[in-house]
Amino acid sequence: MKNIKKINKKKEIKLTAKEKKKIKKEKKNYKNKNSVIIEALKIVQEERNWISDEIIIAISKEIGVSYNDIEEIATFYSQIFRKPVGKHIIKFCDSVVCYINGYKNIQKKIEYHLKIKPGNTTKDNLFTLLPICCLGNCNFSPTIMIDKDIYGPVSTNSIIQILDKYL
């Protein structure tokens, strides 16, 4: 558990009017304050790309839920980013089907081309590479997802052309 007093000594970060408005609108859909936590995290992450400790404090104040309750949820869900990520998130499916169809070669090509390993971000902060257990696109495996775009089947030849679309 993080020491909230230490976090509070850092510069306080406030939610934007846009973030507050979206969270307030979302809160109306839930009877319980805790139920809006995931949606609030998603709203803020959409604007800022990741969730810092200071942002958790701001969300806590906005929805009236403890820091620890929000922190538990933020660290549990893999799609809530707790450290800075690149402008574009590349998720490569590492399921059994994608494994059989050669995702490892795709992964190696991406790593070589971008000079990063899974879990890391390129030096220019353009791409973050993340494994994901399934993208639900097995009939077109191996599959990758960049931001909200799904590609498959991808090959070592097509992956560079796909990445170039995001430069």
Answer for the pair 87, 45: CB distance below 8 angstroms, yes or no.
no
For residues 85 and 121, the answer to whether their CB atoms sit within 8 Å is yes
Is 134 annotated as ligand-binding?
A: yes
Bond from prior residue into 153 cis (ω within 30 degrees of 0): yes
For residue 133, say whether it is annotated as part of any ligand binding site.
Answer: no
- C-alpha closest to that of 26 among 16, 15, 13, 35: 35
- DSSP, collapsed to helix, strand or coil, labels residue 150 as strand
Closest to 52 in 3D by CA, of 118, 8, 116, 20: 8
Structure tokens at 159: 């992956």
- Is 98 known as a binding-site position? yes
* Residue 163 token pair: 């990445």
* Residue set of the binding site: 93, 98, 134, 138
* Residue set of the binding site for [2Fe-2S] cluster: 93, 98, 134, 138
